[in-house]
Structure 1
């Protein structure tokens, strides 16, 4: 029966450790390296290194070209996943900053491949975000986030969007037809805020501003309960002033 001390010692799988060291060695040579060099750097016996490299190659973590080993697509996907997580953390940190400065829930969304994509939300228990009770993708006409995103694309893209997601009244205040929507889009002034009052959720007002992110339509938005509506314009104007300092972080994260 194992002692308490032995039970606390993790079971280490030597072959996994060696494979990881080999991967690290391969990754340290962008131009590739031969098996003998990798085995020496990873301190793995050469026969074992050959066996592990064959396995890693079969799984796509390394590839062999002209006698040297390089990182394969599977390893590159792992790296891309880590970068994606880092970018998402940057977005959430930025949203938390805006939330604390403004004192309201803050949303970041993009229009990608014909759909509204809510990338991140930051709120607090005392100032909760608006509940997504109706799918944001299907109700873009009804909320400030969707309205701001659709205002940044051309009329043909909007028409295609509404061909796929028909405009329906989800509250008594929701815009009901494309003509009314286009009239609102035409009344917007450049980079000014899009304001929506109870069109998506009763008792909630929202405002959104466009965010410059290359060719991708993006937006930052806030929401407030109806009884705080008098704060809405000053809060979104404050958001617009604040976003400049952190715009680069959001922009490089747009590829998430």
Structure 2
């Protein structure tokens, strides 16, 4: 009698019919992974088989497969999560951190009425990691590589001001100062003097040094040895709005700095 009941439940409608396509070995392997994840200090195969309700031979076979694929590792008879499983976890965490930054930038963009940028100095380079703009408030066009022109825009100046002397000198040796507009700083000596006068927590303002018709302000975010910044840009005819808009962004950044600390390396 049991077999006909199973057949009816499997063919009665679409969703139940699709259930028969589930692969039991995958389900059992996932239960083992979940069980291992619950044991920070590892667990033996017998305990894992008991917790997942699997026969010991089946558990052994799946555990060996998971170890071979890198999702688990075995040490002195105990099973732990392996590098492959940890990569899956870190990818999910990284996406969550990225989402936190993207949502924050969109919120500030709408509140301030200006494009908002998030950038870091990482591995010797200026990296603009996220930009949030809108059709009515477009971001600055990257007409000259942001990485190579850090001396000319607020984002780059803000990051360079946070670096120690040797790292900054190395950067400027690789990307020498050059004029982009009539307002760009003229030489590296003048730039370094300007950067040295800045406090690491000071707002950085740049007026048409990177692009004519654009003014920008950048907020430094320094966490340990990480140099990061959030910035806004406005058309130059709205330059009088820049100080208040920058203060508004800085207030928001200060308020969310705790969560930003977790999201800083998206």
TM-score by length of 2: 0.86
**Structure 2: runs of 5 or more not aligned:** 1-10
- The answer as to whether partners of 2:162 and 2:222 remain within 8 angstroms in 1 is no
Question: Which shifted more, 168-177 or 206-215?
Answer: 168-177
1:166 equivalent in alignment to 2:176: yes
- Distance in 1 (CA, whole Å) between partners of 2:79 and 2:128 is 40
Q: Tell me the residue number matched to 1:57.
A: 67
1:5 equivalent in alignment to 2:11: no
- TM-superposed CA distance for 1:15, in Å, is 2.0
Distance verdict in 2 for CA 1:132–1:46, change over 3 Å: farther
- Distance in 2 (CA, whole Å) between partners of 1:183 and 1:57 is 57
- Distance in 2 (CA, whole Å) between partners of 1:221 and 1:186 is 20
| RMSD of aligned residue pairs (Cα, Å) | 2.4
- Distance in 1 (CA, whole Å) between partners of 2:196 and 2:40 is 52
Distance verdict in 2 for CA 1:247–1:6, change over 3 Å: closer
- TM-superposed CA distance for 1:41, in Å, is 2.3
1:40 equivalent in alignment to 2:50: yes
- Distance in 2 (CA, whole Å) between partners of 1:70 and 1:52 is 14
- Distance in 2 (CA, whole Å) between partners of 1:118 and 1:179 is 25
1:67 equivalent in alignment to 2:77: yes
Equivalenced residues, count? 255
- TM-superposed CA distance for 1:240, in Å, is 1.9
- TM-superposed CA distance for 1:8, in Å, is 7.5
- Distance in 1 (CA, whole Å) between partners of 2:66 and 2:181 is 56
1:197-229 CA deviation, whole Å, 9 max, x = no partner? 222223221111212312212211101122212
- The answer as to whether partners of 1:91 and 1:249 remain within 8 angstroms in 2 is no
1:205 partner SS:
strand
- TM-superposed CA distance for 1:149, in Å, is 0.6
**Structure 1: runs of 5 or more not aligned:** none
Q: How does 1:82-161 map to 2 (within 5 A)?
A: 82-161=92-171
TM-score by length of 1: 0.89
Q: Tell me the residue number matched to 2:220.
A: 210
Q: Tell me the residue number matched to 2:91.
A: 81
Q: Which has the larger Rg?
A: 2
- Distance in 2 (CA, whole Å) between partners of 1:66 and 1:218 is 43
